[in-house]
Amino acid sequence: MPSTFAADPLAALLSLGDEHLKLVAYTAFKGRLDHLPALTNEEDAMLRLVEKVRFLRSVPVFKELSPEDLMKLAEIATSSHHLANTVIFREGDPGDMLCMVVSGLVEIRDRQTVIATQKPNDFFGELALFDQEPRSADAWAIEETVLLEIGGADLDAVMERRPEIAREIIRVLARRLRNTTKSMVDRMIGAGITRR
The structural domains of the chain, with segments of one domain joined by +, span: 66-190
Q: How far apart are CA 180 and CA 194, in angstroms?
A: 17
Contact between 115 and 123 under an 8 Å Cβ cutoff? The reply is no
The predicted structure's pLDDT at residue 164: 79
Half-sphere exposure of 156 (CA within 13 A, CB side): 11
Q: How far apart are CA 91 and CA 151, in angstroms?
A: 18
Q: Mean per-residue pLDDT for 18-23?
A: 62
Residues 6+ apart with CB under 8 A from 58: 121
Half-sphere exposure of 92 (CA within 13 A, CB side): 1
Sort strands 145-151 and 86-89 into parallel, antiparallel or unpaired: unpaired
The predicted structure's pLDDT at residue 144: 95
Burial class (CB in 10 A: 0-12, 13-18, 19+), 134: middle
The predicted structure's pLDDT at residue 175: 82
Tell me the pLDDT tens digit for each residue of 39-61: 445 545 555 888 898 899 888 88
**What stretch of H or E contains 155?**
helix 152-161
Say if residue 181's pLDDT is above 90: no
The mean-pLDDT minimum among 46-50, 107-111, 135-139 falls in 46-50
Say if residue 152's pLDDT is above 90: no
Q: How far apart are CA 176 and CA 116, in angstroms?
A: 8
The predicted structure's pLDDT at residue 33: 52
Contact between 101 and 122 under an 8 Å Cβ cutoff? The reply is yes
pTM over the 0.95 mark: no
Fold annotation for 66-190: Jelly Rolls (2.60.120)
Q: How far apart are CA 196 and CA 187, in angstroms?
A: 16
